[in-house]
Amino acid sequence: MKFFVDTAKIEDIKKANDMGVICGVTTNPSLIAKEGGKSQEEILKEIASIVDGPISGEVKATTVDAEGMIAEGREIAKLHPTGCKDPYDSRGTQGNKGTCF
């Protein structure tokens, strides 16, 4: 079994990582927005500097088309090439095709 924390709180991530209980981190734009005005890029880079494991970012649900999601997903993947979540709807399904392969 693998444990992932689902947060963008850097202090919580550091604590869990230091305890040795997590394998990685998953987060999303809503959690990142709660963290004091840092951009998604800044937060994901900081998480990558702490955790030696998978990190999953997420495209914004407000992105209106598959092409936008693909572009956003590719930018997230450049930060830490582990994973990017797309919403499960017609836009996200098309986006998955463009970012996963």
pLDDT, position 76: 85
pLDDT tens, 9-20? 999 999 999 999
In this model, does residue 28 exceed pLDDT 50?
A: yes
Lowest average pLDDT, out of 10-14, 32-36, 84-88, goes to: 84-88
Distance of CA 64 to the CA centre of its chain: 19
Confidence of residue 67 (pLDDT cuts 50, 70, 90): confident
Residues in contact with 45: Cβ distance below 8 Å, sequence separation at least 6, in sequence order: 79, 80
